[in-house]
């Protein structure tokens, strides 16, 4: 039953990337120093070990120099403080930061996004009062509600829902399965990945007057999202109880992240996968929150603070500070504490 | 590229709330004590700092009294043990609990939900054997399978799927992207938010007979959900291996929560964001589970117990007890332990 | 308002299972030892306490022997080292492992999956260049993009999206709400549950050249998923920055799991609910990751290792090792450490 092998994948590992470049063209793009050359056209990036002769790879540390010798890659981007034999019909591009240069090279090979055969698919249901800017693309089975306003160049892939009175700025892209509830304000150049939930009700209840249960508190606020915000697959941003849940310009949010009602994020914050803000959390600008970290409701994380992965933050965090652990404390203290705990455990056992 | 400012949001922060009330009408609704008055109509609630003259705000603690002086709000709901100058053309409504009263005031301003132009959208695919109660609303692109039964006043927003033989009680609302699998029993007055997964297969495998892999155990049970249950965006309730996964009346479940197969929840339990029950967990009534907390499979959390945020519970918890940490223990003990750990770490370093 | 009782569910707890068997037929299927017999046809499995006379139950430990006496079940599967009175018109099937035998019995009662009235629903939007194998079922409102290839017997339930150039192997089933992005390679006999996100962009940014923000790194890679892989509801597998994110044959992934870009999983790995791999994690074969555990980016978990629930793994884990806690260490050491911490806290307070 399980006689298949992983090789089957290699066989079906089709050449998805369609563009090719000479090594000279890539060097011109990167403005690096070209050492050696290769007549092979470069058709894509690949890791050192998996690379074939039409690949470009990168060497960001001396520990990978050895792998270059046996790699089939015709070219590598390499940190300019490293030295290695180029080899026959092979080229190196020396740059200050090979990792960063590799990230830029990806732009050269970036394939086109999925096609739209028609700008507005005939199966999309668009309320007659909705207004669409120029050059919007609306995929199959989308739903656009009453008084929705889309800016220019908005792309909704199939099966997206946008509810009444929501506005979406120019050139924002929304992937399939994502739902944006009513009365939200979304900036321009945002990307919302698949199955994101924007504007679902905040989580709020009050005891019933007879004390025998819980009564839902209406969540009459909305969500405001700035420009250049990216939200990962299956993440959630709840609408405010009243007023607004706000995500500032340039924030980058990973998959499966929870942002509860009335939280306010500054600009260029980063939240990694599975992290979460409980209600009414305030983030300054440039806050970084590691994976699976959680922030208690009504706390403030000031600008430039970093929350280590897996942490539980139960109080305010000063600007620029790095905290770690649960309950989170200064990261250096927490690291020390972990060492001491291990030592004590060994002494006692 | 990033020259935009956050002000752009303020400009587009449209007046979404359409109702207005005199301060006297609001006081009558709350049955509080009106002090002073204002000729300004109240058009919505707002925080003290952001409020404009047509807003009502609230003062739940003495630390906000100072902000009232500079706030532009024409009215505030205030705890009756607090005293502050009312000011010119401004009013205070004294109540026992300003926070709770504010929650009630939201009901006055609650905007209408998104409109349905037709009760049953023509693009919805509804199996000929399905039965719908009176006044159901079925949005665009919904799918309703064989022998599904919907009660009266059920609302399915666009892009909802309900599979064969599932029943949904009266006045339950299901938001877009949510999928309810076959043979589930859903109570009345429930709210399922966007992209919820109800009745996906439980996670169960057995070693294959030849010992060379894992074989899926059929998950032939179903899900039973009581009345007045609310389930947050992107949360999951798995169907039982056999018999049923059960969520009792009045349970409130936040976003991104995992409820695994054969778990049984009593009435009025609360589970905050990112929390989870592993398989066959039993909760009594009124159990509160904090954000990101996880409960080990086959454990029982008795009625009225509270599980602190971020905890990992590995054994049964007595009725009414509060536990915290990982592994979770009595909350006071855990808090003490955290203090001791910090102290020891400081002494040793 | 909350006067309903849980009994209401019992009333609506319809007989969803439609098949029935004699106890002799079940014993033949299990190849156990039949003790006693019953004239009642067996119509389904049930727990000891909830069972009625047409149910078969199981006794996997001596602590449940007492419940057998009062259970209404007509039959039980029982471990062959246990002994109990059979009772009148009741039967026991002795087997080596009652729990495992019960898992097999479920196959006998497994109801048919939801029906498709037509193989390819007319509302599905299928690009003219897509190719479908024999006997595919495509539900209402599905979207299938350019150059997609589906193998034989692929089942897409309603509201599934599969984007350009993706291939899906034979007999793979995809549930509603799931989105598979472009250029992914999916094996055969896989099951993707509801609202899964496959191939969303990896989470990668670089500082902008003017240092004033973050620039998205194109995620030009794809996702390769082996055969017999099951992925739980609302889980996410991101596409690679370049090259591929890979999930090996037979991996079983629970709900709300995050698998970040460029992670590579071997064969038959298990990831429980809410667990996650940060970017570029490598798993060997047969790795088990407990619920809510997280693995730091660029680490390697070697074959046969087990990561305890709730752990945070910050470094490589050797083959076959079990680690626990945050930061994760050898499980026995961590358990000892927890004991020591509690003891020290008690001494100090």
- C161-to-A154, B235, C176, C242 alpha-carbon distances in Å: 19, 20, 9, 23
Nearest to B298 by CA among C224, C244, C47: C47
Contacts of B125 in chain C (CB under 8 A): 121, 123, 140-141, 158
Helix (H) or strand (E) holding B236: strand B236-238
Q: Percentage of chain B with pLDDT > 90?
A: 91
Three-state secondary structure call for residue C44: strand
Residue with tokens 């730091």: C296
Q: Quick check: helix, strand or coil at residue A336?
A: helix
Q: Which residue has the tokens 């160049």?
A: A153
The residue with tokens 């306003």 is A149
Same domain? A84 vs A222: no
Residues of chain C contacting A106 with CB distance shorter than 8 Å? 217-220, 241-242
CB C239 within 8 A of CB C245: yes
8 Å CB contact between B164 and B183? yes
**C17 occurs within a structural domain:** yes
Are C214 and A268 an interchain contact pair (Cβ–Cβ within 8 Å)? Answer: yes
Residue A143 in any domain: the answer is no
B342, part of any domain: no
Is A128 within a domain? Answer: no
| Per-residue pLDDT in tens (0 to 9) along chain A, 349 residues | 333 333 344 434 567 899 999 999 999 999 999 999 999 999 999 999 999 999 999 999 999 999 999 999 999 999 999 999 999 999 999 999 999 999 999 999 999 999 999 999 999 999 999 999 999 999 999 999 999 999 999 999 999 999 999 999 999 999 999 999 999 999 999 999 999 999 999 999 998 888 778 899 999 999 999 999 999 999 999 999 999 999 999 999 999 999 999 999 999 999 999 999 999 999 999 999 999 999 999 999 999 999 999 999 999 999 999 999 999 999 999 999 999 999 999 988 6
* Ordered alpha helix ranges (H), chain A: 7-12, 23-30, 65-70, 98-109, 331-348
Place of tokens 């996410």: C236
Residue among C125, C249, C276 whose CB faces A4 most closely: C249
Is the separation of the CB atoms in B24 and B42 below 8 Å? no
What does the pLDDT average to over B318-342?
96
Residue C82 sits in a domain of what CATH number? Answer: 3.40.1390.10
Residues B256-305 have pLDDT tens digits of 999 999 999 999 999 999 999 999 999 999 999 999 999 999 999 999 99
**Could you tell me which residues are beta bridge partners of residue B346?**
none
User: How far does the CA of residue A311 sit from the closest CA of chain C (Å)?
Assistant: 10
Query: For the CA atoms of B59, B60, B66, B71, what is the dihedral angle to 10 degrees?
Result: -20
Confidence of residue B208 (pLDDT cuts 50, 70, 90): confident
Does residue A86 come out as left (phi exceeding 0), alpha (psi in the -120 to 50 range) or beta?
A: alpha
- In angstroms, rounded to a whole number, what is the distance separating the alpha carbons of residues B194 and B130? 23
Going across the sheet that includes C55-59, the strands are C33-36, C91-95, C75-79, C55-59, C44-45
Q: Which of B88, B113, C280 is nearest to A164 (CA)?
A: B113
Question: Which pLDDT belongs to residue B211?
Answer: 77
Q: Which of C92, C109, C126 is the last residue before a domain boundary?
A: C109
**Interhelix angle B331-348/C331-348, nearest 10 degrees:** 90
Domain containing residue B312:
178-333
Tell me C82's DSSP state: -
- C336/A345 CB distance under 8 A: yes
Are A211 and A307 within one domain?
A: yes
B294-295 vs B312-313, strand pairing mode: parallel
In this complex, which of A178, A218, A250 lies closest to B2 when CB atoms are compared? A250
Residue A146's pLDDT is 97
Query: Of residues B55, B171, B222, B261, which has the active-site annotation?
Result: B261
Query: For tokens 């989870």, what's the residue?
Result: B276
By Cβ distance, the residue of B9, B234, B252 closest to A197 is: B234
Closest among A68, A73, A71, A21 to A42, alpha carbons compared: A21
Same domain, C218 and C74: no
**Do the Cβ atoms of A258 and B270 come within 8 Å?**
no
Q: Partners for A (CB, 8 Å, 3+ pairs)?
A: B, C
Residues paired with residue B161 on neighbouring β-strands, in sequence order: B143, B179
Q: Do C47 and B238 touch (CB under 8 A)?
A: no
Examine the domain organization and report whether C307 and C194 are in the same domain: yes
Q: Do A186 and A315 belong together in one domain?
A: yes
| A286 Ramachandran zone, left/alpha/beta (phi>0; psi -120 to 50) | left
Residue B25's SS3 state is helix
- Specify the CATH number for the domain of residue B226: 2.160.10.10
C130 belongs to a structural domain: no
Closest C-alpha among A101, A92, A103, A97 to residue A69: A92
CA–CA distance from A135 to each of A145, A229, A257 (Å)? Answer: 19, 21, 31
Burial class (CB in 10 A: 0-12, 13-18, 19+), B22: middle
Domain boundary among C93, C109, C125: C109
Instruction: Quote the minimal CA–CA distance from B271 to chain C in Å.
Output: 15
Q: Does one domain contain both B207 and B95? A: no
Chains that touch B (3 or more CB pairs under 8 A): A, C
Would B320 be classed as within a structural domain? Answer: yes
**Complete DSSP assignment for C292-345:** T-EE-TT-EE-TT-EE-TT-EE-S-B-TT-EEETTTTEEHHHHHHHHHHHHHHH
C42 φ, ψ to 5°?
Answer: -95, 125
What totals of helices (H) and strands (E) does chain C contain, helices first?
Answer: 5, 37
**CB atoms A16 and C222 under 8 Å:** yes
d(CA C114, CA C155): 11
Strands B91-95 and B33-36: antiparallel
Rounded to whole angstroms, the Cα distance separating A152 from A189 reads: 10
Compute φ and ψ for C7, nearest 5 degrees.
Answer: -55, -30
Same domain, A103 and A248: no
For residue B120, being part of any structural domain is answered with: no
Q: H/E element holding C111?
A: none
Residues of C with Cβ-Cβ distance to B276 under 8 angstroms: 256, 273-274, 291-292
pLDDT in tens, chain C (349 residues): 333 333 344 434 567 899 999 999 999 999 999 999 999 999 999 999 999 999 999 999 999 999 999 999 999 999 999 999 999 999 999 999 999 999 999 999 999 999 999 999 999 999 999 999 999 999 999 999 999 999 999 999 999 999 999 999 999 999 999 999 999 999 999 999 999 999 999 999 998 888 778 899 999 999 999 999 999 999 999 999 999 999 999 999 999 999 999 999 999 999 999 999 999 999 999 999 999 999 999 999 999 999 999 999 999 999 999 999 999 999 999 999 999 999 999 988 6
Note whether A185 and A100 are same-domain residues: no
Q: Is the separation of the CB atoms in A39 and A23 below 8 Å?
A: no
Q: Which residues contact C211 (CB under 8 A, 6 or more apart)?
A: none
Look up the ipTM and state it. 0.95
Flag whether B163 is in a domain.
Answer: no
Neighbouring C-beta atoms of residue B267, cutoff 10 Å: 25
pLDDT for residue C13: 52
CA C48 – CA C46 distance, rounded (Å)? 6
Per CB-CB distance under 8 Å, the chain B contacts of C171 are none
The distance of A287 to chain B (nearest Cα, Å) reads 17
Q: Which candidate from C143, C159, C164 shows the least CB-CB separation from A139?
A: C143
| Cβ contact B269:B290 at 8 Å | no
Q: What is the DSSP letter of B79?
A: E
In sequence order, which residues have a C-beta less than 8 Å from that of residue C160 and are 6 or more positions away? C139, C142, C143, C174, C175, C176, C177, C178, C179, C180
Which pLDDT value is given to residue A12? 46
Tell whether B315 and B194 lie within a shared domain: yes
Closest CA to A195 of C193, B208, B169: C193
In terms of CA atoms, which chain C residue is nearest residue B246? C9
In 3D, which of C247, C257, C249, C201 has the Cα closest to residue C224?
C247
The number of CA neighbours under 13 Å toward the Cβ of C286 is 13
Instruction: Say which residue the tokens 């949005």 belong to.
Output: B139
Q: How many folded domains does chain A comprise?
A: 2
Catalytic member of C227, C261, C274, C302? C261
In the numeric block, which tokens belong to residue C56? 């078969």
Tell me the chain C residues in contact with residue B233 when contact means C-beta distances shorter than 8 Å. none
Cis check for the bond before C185: say yes or no (omega within 30 of 0).
no
Q: How far is CA A193 from CA A158, A172, A200, A248, C86, in A?
A: 12, 11, 16, 18, 58
Enumerate residues 6+ apart whose C-beta is below 8 A from A171.
Answer: A151, A152, A153, A154, A188, A189
Helices (H), B110-252: none
CB contact under 8 A, A208 and C2: yes
Q: Are residues B196 and B326 in the same domain?
A: yes
Domain boundary (B75, B92, B109) is at B109
Instruction: Count the Cβ atoms, other than its own, within 10 Å of residue B263.
Output: 25
Contacts of C232 in chain B (CB under 8 A): 200, 203, 236
> Distance, in angstroms, between C217 CA and closest chain B CA?
16
Q: Could you give the CA distance from residue A254 to residue C262 in angstroms, rounded to a whole number?
A: 15
Question: Which residues lie closer than 8 Å to C315 by C-beta, 6 or more apart?
Answer: C296, C299, C327
d(CA C199, CA C222): 6
Give the pLDDT confidence score for residue C190 in this predicted structure. 98
Phi/psi for C229 (5° steps) reads -90, 135
- Residue B15: the pLDDT is 76
Please check whether residues C88 and C195 belong to one and the same domain. no
| Sign of the alpha-carbon dihedral angle for C53, C56, C57, C59 | positive
Rounded CA gap, B248 and B227, in Å? 8
B121 has catalytic annotation: no
- Distance from the Cα of B66 to chain C's closest Cα (Å) equals 37
- pLDDT number for residue B349: 65
Report the pLDDT averaged over residues B211-225. 92
- Residues C329 and C231 reside in one and the same domain: yes
Q: Nearest Cβ partner of A177 from C179, C206, C222?
A: C179
pLDDT at B209: 80
CB contact under 8 A, A2 and B213: yes
């Amino acid at each position: 039953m399980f006689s298949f092998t992983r090789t089957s994948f290699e066989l079906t590992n089709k050449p998805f990337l369609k563009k090719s470049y000479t090594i000279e063209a890539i060097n011109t793009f990167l403005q690096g120093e070209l050492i050696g050359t290769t007549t092979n056209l470069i058709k894509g990036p690949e890791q050192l070990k998996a690379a074939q002769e039409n690949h470009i790879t990168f060497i960001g540390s001396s520990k990978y120099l050895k792998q270059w010798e046996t790699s089939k890659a015709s070219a590598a981007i390499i940190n300019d403080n490293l030295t290695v034999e180029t080899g026959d019909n092979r080229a190196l591009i020396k740059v200050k930061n090979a990792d960063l240069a590799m990230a830029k090279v990806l732009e050269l090979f970036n394939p086109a996004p999925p096609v739209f055969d028609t700008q507005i698919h005939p199966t999309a249901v668009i309320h007659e009062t909705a207004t669409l800017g120029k050059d919007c693309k609306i995929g199959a089975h989308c739903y656009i509600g009453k008084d929705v306003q889309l800016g220019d160049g908005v792309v909704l892939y199939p099966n997206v829902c946008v509810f009444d009175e929501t506005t979406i700025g120019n050139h924002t892209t929304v992937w399939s399965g994502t739902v944006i509830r009513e009365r939200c304000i979304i900036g321009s150049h945002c990307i919302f990945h698949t199955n994101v939930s924007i504007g679902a009700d905040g989580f709020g209840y009050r005891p019933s007057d007879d004390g025998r249960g819980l009564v839902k508190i209406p969540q009459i606020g909305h969500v405001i999202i700035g420009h250049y915000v990216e939200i990962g697959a299956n993440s959630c941003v709840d609408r405010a109880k009243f007023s607004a849940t706000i995500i500032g310009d340039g924030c980058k949010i990973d998959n499966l992240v929870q942002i509860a009602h009335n939280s306010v994020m500054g600009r260029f914050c980063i939240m990694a996968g599975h992290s979460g803000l409980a209600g009414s959390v305030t983030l300054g600008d440039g806050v970084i929150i590691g994976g699976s970290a959680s922030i208690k409701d009504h706390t403030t994380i000031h600008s430039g603070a970093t929350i280590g992965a897996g942490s539980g933050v139960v109080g305010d965090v000063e600007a620029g500070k790095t905290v770690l652990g649960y309950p989170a404390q200064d990261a250096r203290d927490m690291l020390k504490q972990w060492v001491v705990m291990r030592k004590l455990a060994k002494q006692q056992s």
